[in-house]
Amino acid sequence: MSDYAIVETKIVREILILLRPYVILKKKQIDLGLLIIDKLAKMKSSKDLLKICKLVDKFKELNYSKKRTITYEYVKRFLSP
């Protein structure tokens, strides 16, 4: 098995849009990913970042992921004085 990581959000967005019509089981993940990317582009404050973190946490509901350690609560504690 191999992985391919794409980190440029503009390219990720383009790929998700291209894949969306062909995806059946992960359509909610694609829609959530597109929403997060759009919000990242408009992010201006730590409040915006925390809202995005909550959206990212929704992937946990859609996917099985035990490895993820940086959550909304983690970022919130990190940003708190």
Tell which wins on pLDDT, 47 or 61.
47
Q: Which two tokens stand for residue 8?
A: 């440029």
Location of structure tokens 């390219």? 11
Q: Does 3 fall in a domain? A: no
Domain that holds residue 75: 9-79
- Mean pLDDT across the stretch 37-48? 94
Count structural domains, the chain: 1
Q: Does 66 fall in a domain? A: yes
User: What does the pLDDT look like over 48-69, one tens digit per residue?
Assistant: 999 999 999 888 788 876 677 8
Q: Does 1 fall in a domain? A: no
Tell which wins on pLDDT, 3 or 76.
76
Quote the pLDDT of residue 17. Answer: 97
Quote the pLDDT of residue 34. Answer: 97
User: What does the pLDDT look like over 5-29, one tens digit per residue?
Assistant: 888 999 999 999 999 999 999 999 9
- Rounded Cα–Cα distance for residues 72 and 56 (Å): 8
> Residue 49 is part of a domain; what is its CATH number?
3.10.28.10
